[in-house]
Amino acid sequence: EVQLVESGGGLAQPGGSLRLSCAASGFTFSSYEMNWVRQAPGKGLEWVSYISSGGTTIYYADSVKGRFTISRDNAKNSLYLQMNSLRAEDTALYYCARAGIPAARWAFDIWGQGTMVTVSS
Amino acid sequence: QSVLTQPPSASGTPGQRVTISCSGSNSNVGSNYVYWFQQLPGTAPKLLIYSNNQRPSGVPDRFSGSKSGTSASLAISGLRSEDEADYYCAAWDDSLSGVLFGGGTKLTVL
């Protein structure tokens, strides 16, 4: 079964750090581009970051640039999001999402269940 | 405030056809593909439409997408109660070098 499972969420203080992980299974992880998308409680979707299949191309939303770092380990079938200098506005459910359709880079066809990040003192 | 503008709500009765609009600009909708996602209550989003008007396998042909200039639309025909969900458009923005989502449209089936 094709699956993405996020972990690593929790409560962090403003200015603190968290590292999210996304474990992939059921497909050849190294062949796919990956993304993080977040959703604040009761709000809409916000794209956070993208990483190419080989990890050489990376994009970030302006709201997280300079604070968050996306990475992947293809040998471990895992995607990561290092979150530093956390702010209250980073509180959200964080999804990892696969871009699974060739020539449709933002066709997020597989999503995880999400991991909740709460930033509060 | 999202740069891709969607109506916050839409509604229809079973069997009806409803459309949801997504308005952007030359740097996003006007020059890049539009994607549509459906999010049922309490679940992760699901890809409905990619590359403006393509349906992934498994998505019923009741769902269709179109784009003209800097606006795009999602149409749902033969509305069903299970279509009640939030719908989001998305597109790459050349100026921001990032993906933009619309603010979302909550569809109610009356």
Mean pLDDT of all residues in B62-67: 98
Q: Are A91 and A14 in contact (CB under 8 A)?
A: no
Mean pLDDT of all residues in B62-68: 98
Q: Searching chain A, which residue's CA lies closest to the CA of residue B35?
A: A107
The pLDDT of residue A105 is above 80: yes
The pLDDT of residue B1 is above 60: no
Contacts of A114 (CB under 8 A, 6+ apart): A6, A39, A93, A94, A95, B44
Beta bridge partner(s), residue A7:
A21
Q: Which two tokens stand for residue A118?
A: 């709460």
Q: Does the beta-carbon distance from A44 to B101 stay under 8 Å?
A: yes
Q: Does the beta-carbon distance from A101 to B2 stay under 8 Å?
A: no
Mean pLDDT of all residues in A73-95: 98
Which residues in chain B are contacts of A106 at CB distance < 8 A?
Answer: 33, 35, 50, 90-92, 99
Portion of chain B with pLDDT greater than 90, in percent:
97
